[in-house]
Chains A and B, each alone.
Chain A
Amino acid sequence: MIFGIPLQALMGQLLVGLINGSFYALLSLGLAVIFGLLRVINFAHGAQYMLGAFTALLLLTVGGINYWLALILAPLIVGLFAALVERSMLSRLYKLDPLYGLLFTFGLALAIEGTFRYFYGASGKPYAAPPQLSGAVNLGFMFLPIYRGWVVIASLAVCIAVWLLIEKTKLGAYLRAATENPVLVQAFGVNVPLLLTLTYALGAGLAGFAGVLAAPIYQVSPLMGSNLIIIVFAVVVVGGMGSILGAIVTGYLLGVVEGLTKVFYPEASNIVIFVIMAIVLILRPAGLFGKEA
């Protein structure tokens, strides 16, 4: 017993927190990549997450394409859509104040969500988990749905892969260099605009991937992203704007903190992340992993 909560229940809640943290980590990673390299505050991230889930749903209902293929195809489709948006519209705003990028992506999110709400209503549609991952295992202290276990593994793997891509590969080095000094990198013959488009597509694709992962757990609905996006922004701020490792670690960490709050004081579970954000901003304005400017 810890503070009147049975240890078994506490273990269960820790695990649940880790599962939710997986979504926070994946989504805040995408945001951090886009902000870190493009200096764009991507308010369309929630909409791109929702698009991922809906793409999986449409692939299944219209094309008969199963979950496993959708897990690869949907992020690619969302990434492609994002690349088009970046090329045709967003890239024109780089020269302006970052506020314009924020306003543009916010408007874009509203337009996408409004369109889906028009066609699908607010209740949305169900998406079944793949048969290989349905069912649950009894861990003794809790009943773990196999699908949720898979979510933790898949998101962890993708997070590590993206971190390696950006920190350890040649492409990642170009990307980082392009943000530091785009003119110099271009002078070395690197196609900087293409790099930026790819980066935005990668960030959006990560959101789409999280959307497909989320589809069997939550109702696939036009509002699924807007309910989550504010929390994810808080995660990015706590982790340090633009810090990739910070986004990942903070995502899992805050998922766990939120899970524990649901046990000790459930009414506060919606605001605990923001309370932490406020405290971090006061003590370390650059975030836990951010570099002081």
Chain B
Amino acid sequence: MRHFLLTTAAVGLAATPALADLSDGKVKIGILNDQSGVYADFGGKYSYEAAKMAVEDFGGKVLDAPIEVVTADHQNKADIASNIARQWYDTEQVDSIMELTSSSVGLAVQALSKEKKKITINTGAATTELTGAQCSPYGFHWAYDTHALAVGTGGALVKEGGDSWFFLTADYAFGYSLEENTGNFVKSQGGTVVGAVRHPLASTDFSSFLLQAQSSGAKVIGLANAGMDTQNTIKQAAEFGITQGGQKLAALLFTLAEVHGLGLEAAQGLNLTESFYWNRTPATAEFGKRFKERTGAMPNMVHAGTYSAVTQYLKAIQAAGSDDPDAVSAKLHELPVNDVFAENGKVAANGRMISDVYLMEVKKPADVTEDWDYYKVLATIPGDQAYIDPAQSGCPLVK
């Protein structure tokens, strides 16, 4: 009799792993990002919407348990972000945190999550440190990083003869990482870096910095900043006749959201790198249109990347039969990524999701036939070239 009971119990457990192996009977995903500051359009509440779309497309349930998405604004401050993350993990049963725009925030929350054994999938921050020296067995980096941007935009401009660079850099972790990656890449291609100037995050006036860049005589001015800072820089560069003077602007991190905000009049002709463009294939266009119906805007790589990250996380839970972070992390490292965002993407041992990135050119206003159709895809850069070889990344997890 006792033997029978044990057997039925075991059979029962095997048949309903959801109830047995999911902590607190549901899966809760937190989307933590900037929703009110300079990066609010770059990721912001649309990333939350993308995460909800992913959950709906997955059927709203994984292993028969409901999936919930929560969100909060970290105001680009690492301490606020860490406090929210701690509260989510400790008292609100959040299983994983994603998006995490802004490199300083991304690094802080990934370190906290490593300590707490929770999964983070970063789709919004850029620094390669996330999968470099500060990598984590539970930390993943989706969508893009400063290395991919450097290879994409930097490579294209050096090839066109832009072999001397001056950097205008946002004065924090992300800016340094982007400047360093791009600078190294430019040098490896035979170019030179003549100088750099650092500006505080969320500056309004860039004319002083632009004048310094102008007088440096560099052929390319690399904008190692993001969001509204880059928009204002480009707008003011036009005023000071920088492009008429023959210097080229390289917006190293610039997405569809910022192109839309800046307007094609000022943005036309810019080269930029993104890992997603809605009008690239019929499948991406279909996704883009569904996204736009909900938000009023087409997705950029952060939004589409968040959709992909949430989807892959749910797939990993399903494959692992559990939401145990060690089991899910193993599956995330193992499963290929195939969705609207990535084709045959793979996750390396350092947590980097490797998929193709694209070099774009912003169209002239006259060439745009459809609303939001701003890019011409110039080249596809295979993931293996775009991202750092995991063995060279400096991540101690790669053996």
Contacts and interface: CB of A to CB of B under 8 A. Distances in A.
Does chain A bind chain B? yes
A219 B257 contact: no
Nearest to B208: A262
B261 A143 contact: no
Interface in B244-293: 245, 257-258, 260-263, 265-266
Given A122-B37, A219-B261, A13 B239 contact: no
A29 B326 CA distance: 61
A199 B227 CA distance: 37
B211 A12 contact: yes
B40 A263 contact: no
Interface string A11-28: 011001101100000000
Most buried by B among A122, A136, A259: A122
A145 interface: yes
Interface string A121-136: 1111110100000001
Most buried by A among B44, B258, B261, B265: B261
Contact of A123 (B171, B236, B258): B258
Interface in A233-276: 259, 262-263, 266-267, 269-270
A20 B232 CA distance: 14
Interface stretch (B82-90, B197-205, B328-336): B197-205
A128 B260 contact: no
Interface in A97-119: 117
Contacts of B205: 16, 20, 217-218
A128 B261 contact: no
B228 interface: yes
A142 B200 CA distance: 24
A136 B266 CA distance: 16
Contact of A148 (B36, B231, B239): B239
A161 interface: no
B204 A218 contact: yes
A153 B162 CA distance: 38
B214 interface: yes
A270 B208 CA distance: 13
B16 interface: no
Contact of A219 (B203, B231, B239, B240): B231
Nearest to B240: A143
B258 A19 contact: no
Interface string B28-55: 0000000011111100100000000000
A262 B203 CA distance: 12
B240 A227 contact: no
A218 B235 contact: yes
A117 B261 CA distance: 13
A81 interface: no
A9 B265 contact: no
Interface residues of A, number: 38
Given A123-B228, A123-B258, A124-B261, A136 B240 contact: yes
B40 A13 contact: no
A33 B261 CA distance: 35
Most buried by B among A6, A9, A13, A218: A218
Interface string B201-219: 0111101110110110000
A117 B211 contact: no
Interface in B346-387: none
Contacts of A126: 235, 261-263, 265-266
A270 B203 contact: yes
B40 A228 contact: no
Most buried by B among A121, A217, A227: A121
Interface string A201-225: 0000000000000000111010110
B208 A13 contact: yes
A221 B228 contact: yes
A219 B198 contact: no
A19 to B, nearest CB: 7
B274 to A, nearest CB: 16
Contact of A122 (B228, B245, B260): B228
A122 B241 CA distance: 27
A147 B36 CA distance: 30
B200 A122 contact: no
Contacts of B245: 143
A269 B202 CA distance: 12
A223 B208 contact: no
Contact of A16 (B171, B208, B263): B208
Given A136-B239, A269-B200, A219 B214 contact: no
A16 B241 contact: no
A20 B207 CA distance: 10
Which 9 pairs, one residue from A and one from B, show the smallest C-beta to C-beta distance? A123-B261, A122-B40, A262-B208, A270-B200, A145-B239, A126-B263, A123-B41, A143-B241, A16-B207
Interface of A: 6, 8-9, 12-13, 16-17, 19-20, 117, 121-126, 128, 136, 142-143, 145, 147-148, 217-219, 221, 223-224, 227-228, 259, 262-263, 266-267, 269-270
6 contacts: A16-B211, A122-B38, A123-B231, A125-B261, A143-B241, A227-B202
Given A123-B227, A136-B240, A223-B38, 12 more contacts: A6-B215, A117-B36, A121-B40, A122-B39, A123-B260, A142-B211, A143-B214, A147-B239, A217-B205, A263-B212, A269-B208, A270-B200
